[in-house]
C-alpha cells in the first residue's frame, strides 16, 4: 500500500465527542467512552476517526473556543486518556484525526488575556484590534457568523476586537508570523503524540483584508434568512494570502510523514467549486502542495434528485486539478442529518452513493443507524447559534444528540447519568444493538457496503465514468484493471427498467439497498422504487 492510501482510499468517521459515549456518568461523552466503543468502528469497517475538539475550553461554543491547544479538557479526560486511545486505535489499524481550530481562540486563552491587557502588550498584534469608527461604533460592517457585528468593544483599551463567531472567540491575526509559528507548533505537539492528521476548522476564514474594507451587500439575501448572509464576505474569507498559508501548514505536517504513512490535512471550506479547488494548492515538483482533502460539501444542500446529484458529481470530477484526491460528505455536526433531510429510504440510497463514488467518504456518527435530528425544546437549547437568534431554526443541537447504542440500557447505553442533550424518541428500536442482528437494517447495509468497498479496488481506487440510464436513475461505472462495476441509483418512486447495454444478463448484484435482492441478473434488470444496486458485468 502507498503511504497515502489510508486517506485516499479509506473511510473517515467523525465523532462528536460529547455525544458518542460517556464513561463516567456525567452525561457528556469522553475519550474513555470512545476507546470503549472502538469495536463498533472496527466492525463497521472504517479506516480513520476524526474527533471534534477535545481541548480545554470554557465551552461557549462547545470546544471551538479553545483556552489551551496542547491539553485535554477534563470533561473529556486527560492527556494520558488521549495517549491510551491513540495507542489502542493504532494497534487496531485506525488512524486518528483531530480538529485544529486556528481562526480564533477563547477569550480566556492566555494569549488573548495578554493581548487585551494594554495596547503596548507584545501580544497585542496577535489579534485584530481597531479603533472605533468616527461615530464610536464598530470599525466596519463585518458580521459575525453567529449574529450581530463581528466586533466587540473593549473599554479597558478603547478599541474593538474582531470575532468571526462569538465574542468569546476572538480572531487571531494570521498576518503576524509569530501567530503562524505558534499555531504550527500546536500541530507539531499533536503530531509528536502520533496524530495522523487534522481537520482544519473554517480554514478559509483565517486571513482578513489588511485595509479592513466594508463587505458589499449580498444581492441574493432574502429577508428572514440567516442574518450573517446579509453581506458577501469578500474581505473576511478566502483572501489571496491563504494560498501561502496552506502551503506552510502542509510543510509542517509533511515533516512527520514517512514512507509508511503520510499525514493529512482536511479543510473545512464552504466555498464555490472553483474556489474550493484552489485549496489543493499549487503544484511543485509534480505534486499539489495544499490541503489534501478540501471538504466537498455539495451533497449537504443538494436537491435529492438524480439529475441534480449527477450534475454535481460530473462538475466536481471535471474541476479537480491533476493529481487531486476527491472526497464526499453527507453530514456533519453543523448540518441536519441525511435521514432528516431525505427520509430513511432515501438515506439508504445516499449511503450507497457516498460509499461508491470516487474519493474519500466521511461518515457522521449515527448516520450508520439512520439517526435523525431530534427536536430540542427552547428551554433545553444548548447551541449559542440558536440562543443568539432564537426561533430561526439555526441551532445545531438536533444533529448532535447522543449515539443510540442499546434499546434496554438507560439512555440507550450512552450514559448512566442525565445526557447533555435528549435522545431521539426512537432509541428503543433505532440503536446499534438491535440493528446489528437485522440484515435489513441501515447498519447492516453500511457494513455490507463498506466491506464491498474494501475488497473491490474498483470502488476504493478505481476510475469513475458517468453513464446515462434514463430519468430518475443516476448511473456510473467504477473500474480498476479489467474489473468494471456499475452503480445504479433509482431516485424515483416507481420501478425503472435498466438497459441490457448497461447491465447485460448474467451480471452479478454485489449489493442492493434492498436486502432481499442478490445473485445473478436474469434478463433485464428492473430497479425497485428508491433502490440502488452495484452490479459486476458478466
Average pLDDT over residues 461-486: 97
Portion of the chain with pLDDT greater than 90, in percent: 93
The residues with which 474 forms a beta bridge, in sequence order, are 468, 489
- The pLDDT score that the predictor gives to residue 248 is 98
The pairs formed by 506-510 with CB atoms below 8 angstroms and a separation of 24 or more are 506/538, 507/535, 507/536, 507/537, 507/538, 508/535, 508/536, 508/538, 509/533, 509/534, 509/535, 510/452, 510/456, 510/485, 510/534, 510/535, 510/536
Distance CA 466, CA 315 (A): 11
Kindly state the DSSP code that residue 69 receives in the 8-state scheme: T
DSSP 3-state percent helix, strand, coil across the chain (nearest 5)? 30, 20, 55
- The pLDDT score that the predictor gives to residue 253 is 98
Average pLDDT over residues 206-212: 98
DSSP, collapsed to helix, strand or coil, labels residue 454 as helix
Burial of 338 (0-12, 13-18, 19+ CB in 10 A): buried
- The pLDDT score that the predictor gives to residue 505 is 84
pLDDT interval class at 408 (50, 70, 90): confident
Annotate 428-452 with DSSP letters as a single string.
TTSSHHHHHT-TTSHHHHHHHHHHH
Average pLDDT over residues 501-528: 92
- Full set of structural domains in the chain with CATH: 5-105+176-208+239-449 (3.20.20.80), 110-162 (3.90.400.10), 463-536 (2.60.40.1180)
For residue 522, pLDDT beyond 80: yes
Annotate 231-263 with DSSP letters as a single string.
B--TTTSS-TTHHHHHHHHHHHHHTT-BTTB--
- Region of 340 please: left (phi>0), alpha (psi -120 to 50) or beta: alpha
pLDDT interval class at 184 (50, 70, 90): very high
Q: What are phi and psi of 525, to 5 degrees?
A: -80, 130
The Cα-based distances of 170 to 69, 355, 379, 398 in angstroms read: 15, 38, 28, 26
DSSP, collapsed to helix, strand or coil, labels residue 287 as strand
pLDDT interval class at 388 (50, 70, 90): confident
Catalytic residue among 22, 107, 201, 268: 201
Q: Which helix H or strand E contains 88, and what residues bound it?
A: helix 79-91
Distance CA 29, CA 327 (A): 28
pLDDT interval class at 518 (50, 70, 90): confident
- Chain centroid, CA 407 distance in Å: 28
pLDDT interval class at 212 (50, 70, 90): very high
Q: Express each pLDDT in 479-498 by its tens digit.
A: 999 999 999 999 999 999 99
Contact 330, 300 (CB under 8 A): yes
Q: Express each pLDDT in 225-280 by its tens digit.
A: 888 999 999 999 999 999 999 999 999 999 999 999 999 999 999 999 999 999 99
- The pLDDT score that the predictor gives to residue 103 is 98
- Region of 166 please: left (phi>0), alpha (psi -120 to 50) or beta: beta
For residue 344, pLDDT beyond 80: yes
Q: Express each pLDDT in 268-316 by its tens digit.
A: 999 999 999 999 999 998 899 999 999 999 999 999 999 999 999 999 9
Q: Which helix H or strand E contains 217, and what residues bound it?
A: none
For the chain, give the mean pLDDT: 96
- The pLDDT score that the predictor gives to residue 39 is 98
- The pLDDT score that the predictor gives to residue 538 is 58
- Chain centroid, CA 437 distance in Å: 29
- Give the residue among 227, 255, 347, 258 at the shortest CA–CA distance from 299: 347
- Cell digits for 98? 483531530
Portion of the chain with pLDDT greater than 70, in percent: 100
The yes-or-no answer on residue 255 being catalytic is yes
Is this prediction's pTM over 0.75? yes
Gyration radius of the chain's alpha carbons: 24
- Give the residue among 222, 101, 239 at the shortest CA–CA distance from 171: 101
Contact 423, 434 (CB under 8 A): no
Q: Express each pLDDT in 168-179 by its tens digit.
A: 999 999 999 999
User: What interhelical angle do 442-455 and 344-356 show, nearest 10?
Assistant: 10
For residue 195, pLDDT beyond 90: yes
Contact 225, 157 (CB under 8 A): no
Catalytic residue among 43, 241, 255, 438: 255
Contact 470, 527 (CB under 8 A): no
The yes-or-no answer on residue 43 being catalytic is no
Amino acid at each position: 500500500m502507498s503511504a497515502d492510501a489510508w486517506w485516499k482510499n479509506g473511510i473517515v468517521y467523525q465523532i462528536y465527542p460529547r455525544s458518542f459515549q460517556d464513561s463516567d456518568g456525567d452525561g457528556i461523552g469522553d475519550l474513555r467512552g470512545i476507546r470503549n466503543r472502538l469495536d463498533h468502528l472496527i466492525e463497521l469497517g472504517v479506516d480513520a476517526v476524526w474527533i471534534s475538539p477535545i481541548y480545554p475550553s470554557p465551552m461557549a461554543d462547545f470546544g471551538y473556543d479553545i483556552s489551551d491547544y496542547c491539553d485535554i479538557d477534563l470533561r473529556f479526560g486527560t492527556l494520558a486518556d488521549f495517549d491510551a486511545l491513540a495507542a489502542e486505535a493504532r494497534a487496531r489499524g485506525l488512524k486518528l484525526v483531530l480538529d485544529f481550530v486556528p481562526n480564533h481562540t477563547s477569550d480566556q486563552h492566555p494569549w488573548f488575556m495578554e493581548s487585551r491587557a494594554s495596547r503596548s502588550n507584545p501580544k497585542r498584534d496577535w489579534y485584530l484590534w481597531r479603533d472605533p469608527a468616527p461615530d464610536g461604533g464598530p470599525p466596519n460592517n463585518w458580521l459575525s457568523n453567529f449574529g450581530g457585528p463581528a466586533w466587540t468593544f473593549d473599554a479597558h483599551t478603547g478599541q474593538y476586537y474582531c470575532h468571526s463567531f462569538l465574542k468569546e472567540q476572538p480572531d487571531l491575526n494570521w498576518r503576524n508570523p509569530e501567530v503562524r509559528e505558534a499555531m504550527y507548533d500546536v500541530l507539531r505537539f499533536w503530531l509528536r503524540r502520533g496524530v495522523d492528521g487534522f481537520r482544519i476548522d473554517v480554514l478559509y476564514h483565517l486571513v482578513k483584508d489588511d485595509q479592513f474594507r466594508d463587505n458589499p451587500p449580498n444581492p441574493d439575501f432574502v429577508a428572514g434568512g440567516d442574518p450573517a448572509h446579509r453581506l458577501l464576505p469578500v474581505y473576511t474569507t478566502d483572501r489571496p494570502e491563504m494560498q501561502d498559508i496552506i502551503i506552510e501548514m502542509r510543510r509542517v505536517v509533511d515533516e512527520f510523514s514517512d514512507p509508511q504513512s503520510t499525514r493529512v490535512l482536511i479543510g473545512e471550506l464552504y466555498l464555490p467549486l472553483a474556489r474550493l479547488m484552489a485549496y489543493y494548492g499549487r503544484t511543485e515538483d509534480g505534486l499539489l502542495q495544499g490541503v489534501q482533502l478540501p471538504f466537498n460539501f455539495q451533497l449537504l444542500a443538494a436537491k435529492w434528485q438524480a439529475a441534480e446529484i449527477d450534475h454535481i458529481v460530473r462538475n466536481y470530477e471535471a474541476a479537480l486539478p491533476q493529481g487531486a484526491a476527491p472526497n464526499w460528505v453527507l453530514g456533519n455536526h453543523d448540518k441536519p442529518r441525511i435521514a432528516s433531510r431525505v427520509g430513511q429510504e432515501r438515506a439508504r440510497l445516499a449511503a450507497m452513493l457516498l460509499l461508491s463514488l470516487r474519493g474519500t467518504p466521511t461518515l457522521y456518527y449515527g448516520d450508520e443507524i439512520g439517526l435523525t435530528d431530534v427536536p430540542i425544546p427552547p428551554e433545553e437549547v444548548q447551541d449559542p447559534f440558536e440562543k443568539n437568534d432564537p426561533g430561526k431554526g439555526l441551532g445545531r443541537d438536533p444533529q448532535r444528540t447522543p449515539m443510540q447504542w442499546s434499546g434496554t440500557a438507560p439512555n440507550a447505553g450512552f450514559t448512566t447519568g442525565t445526557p447533555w442533550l435528549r435522545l431521539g424518541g426512537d432509541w428503543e428500536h433505532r440503536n446499534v444493538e438491535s440493528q446489528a442482528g437485522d440484515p435489513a437494517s441501515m447498519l447492516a447495509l453500511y457494513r455490507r457496503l463498506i466491506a464491498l468497498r474494501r475488497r473491490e479496488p474498483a470502488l476504493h481506487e478505481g476510475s469513475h465514468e458517468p453513464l446515462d440510464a434514463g430519468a430518475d436513475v443516476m448511473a456510473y461505472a467504477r473500474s480498476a484493471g479489467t474489473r468494471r462495476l456499475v452503480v445504479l441509483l433509482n431516485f424515483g418512486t416507481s420501478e425503472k427498467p435498466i438497459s441490457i447495454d448497461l447491465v447485460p444478463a448474467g451480471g452479478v448484484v454485489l449489493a442492493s439497498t434492498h436486502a432481499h435482492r442478490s445473485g445473478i441478473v436474469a434478463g433485464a434488470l428492473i430497479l425497485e422504487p428508491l433502490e440502488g444496486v452495484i452490479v459486476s458485468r458478466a
